[in-house]
Structure 1
Amino acid sequence: MISAQAWADAERLWDFQQMGHELRPCSVAIGLGSHDLGVADTTADLYHRGMMPLIVFTGATSRTTRDRMPRGEAEHYRERAMELGVPARAILVEPRARNTGENIRFSRELLDGQQVTVSSALLVSKPYEERRAYATARKLWPEVEWRSASTPMTLAEYVDSIGDARLVIDMLVGAQQRLMIYPRRGFMIEQETPDGVRAAFERLRDGGFTSRLMPEAVGPDN
């Protein structure tokens, strides 16, 4: 069972991850690979709304996707977007990336190789990774104007789609931890964490929602 306090703390982390960017047409959209085909659905919807002329889907496989997406996350995203009416000519596939940093770096290499000029880009990710994706992209490709997007949904709706509330909260806690420690490692830009968000993170961490944490942050003493 998830306590009322834990749920409230998870909602605070969820809300913080949403960047709330006003979307407008960009040079390209980069759909970040994961287990969630909703990223491909949202990217296709943005294409049909005229938000970009070109899509890059990026992602290899991971332990959570190798069985469900054996041809690679980016390739499965491409297939899904085409089912939703996006033409093949509007999609590039980057099949090697295994983390967010590689998503950005390898997508940049692919676009440079195709001689695509990029001044602005839409990052499409899972809802709880908008801020992490944005901070990473700003660090690795600062010349571009970045906007974050994800499938509009509440935490409760996302939990229903996954079917495992504890896993989703663990993922939220892991995403928040990375926002706080990765800037020191040079992986993303620094972003201020409001006191209330930090307190929510600490309560959830100390309450045992730790399966997605980096080792240094496991336990109340870290």
Structure 2
Amino acid sequence: MISTQDWADTRLLWKYHQMGHSPQPCSVAIGLGSHDLGVADMAVELYERGMAPLLVFTGATSPTTRERMPRGEAVHYRERALELGVPSSAVLVEPRARNTGENITFSRELLREAGVEVSSILLISKPYEERRAYATARKLWPGVGIISASSPMTLDEYVDSIGDARLVIDMLVGALQRLLVYPEQGFMISQPVPEDVAEAYERLCRQGFTSRLLRDAAGQARSQMRR
């Protein structure tokens, strides 16, 4: 049973995970692979609005996408973009990345090899991955402007699209834990977590929304917030 307090805490995490950036024209748009084809749809929408002349889709497969996207996340994203009318000349595919750090690093290498000069990136992810994608790109690709974007969905709309409320909460909790743990490992920049968000995260952990937490790291994440 998901309580009223659980939902209130989840909404705090949902809002924090989103950067609130307004899309602006950038050198390139990079769509981060996942189970969610909405990332590709959003990339196409921004391309059609003239926000980027080139799309890069990045991602291999994972246990959650292997059956749905057997040819790889980036390949399926590209196919979706072509179906929606984007010319093949405006799409590059990076098919190897298996995590956010590799998404950024391999996309950077691909664009360099293609001779594309990049001064700014429109970084497109799932709604609850905006801040994680931004923090990772800031660490691994310094010197370029980064604007985070995702499908403009409410939490309720996203839960409906996934069809599993508890899984969504678990994913939001896991994403926040990584924002706390990964900076110390050099994977992303550190960002302040407001006290109400930290308290909401701790309550959700205590309520058992922990399936997406890194193993044995939940206690470490909570202790960091209390410092």
TM-score range (shorter-chain normalised) is over 0.9
Query: 2:197 is matched with which residue?
Result: 197
CA distance in 1, matches of 2:21, 2:69: 30
Give the letter aligned to residue 203 of structure 1.
R
CA distance in 1, matches of 2:204, 2:142: 33
Query: 1:163 is matched with which residue?
Result: 163
CA distance in 1, matches of 2:209, 2:188: 24
TM (norm. structure 1) is: 0.98
Partner SS state of residue 51, structure 1: coil
Partner SS state of residue 202, structure 1: helix
Query: 1:100 is matched with which residue?
Result: 100
Are the aligned partners of 1:205 and 1:219 in contact in 2 as well (CA < 8 Å)? no
Structure 1 position 186, deviation (Å): 0.5
1:51 aligns with 2:56: no
Give the letter aligned to residue 151 of structure 1.
S
Q: Which runs of 5+ in 1 are unaligned?
A: none
Are the aligned partners of 2:177 and 2:218 in contact in 1 as well (CA < 8 Å)? no
1:208 aligns with 2:181: no
Partner SS state of residue 216, structure 2: helix
Q: Which runs of 5+ in 2 are unaligned?
A: none
Structural mapping, 1:1-222, within 5 Å: 1-218=1-218
Structure 1 position 85, deviation (Å): 1.0
Task: Name segments (4+ residues, structure 1) moved above 4 Å.
Answer: 219-222
Give the letter aligned to residue 190 of structure 1.
S
CA distance in 2, matches of 1:23, 1:83: 23
Partner SS state of residue 191, structure 2: coil
Are the aligned partners of 1:39 and 1:151 in contact in 2 as well (CA < 8 Å)? yes
Structure 1 position 22, deviation (Å): 1.6
Are the aligned partners of 1:123 and 1:133 in contact in 2 as well (CA < 8 Å)? yes
Structure 1 position 216, deviation (Å): 2.5
Are the aligned partners of 1:31 and 1:58 in contact in 2 as well (CA < 8 Å)? yes
CA distance in 2, matches of 1:100, 1:59: 9
Partner SS state of residue 56, structure 2: strand
CA distance in 1, matches of 2:29, 2:123: 6
- Percent identity at matched positions? 72
Q: How many residues align?
A: 222
Structure 1 position 219, deviation (Å): 5.9
Give the letter aligned to residue 193 of structure 2.
T
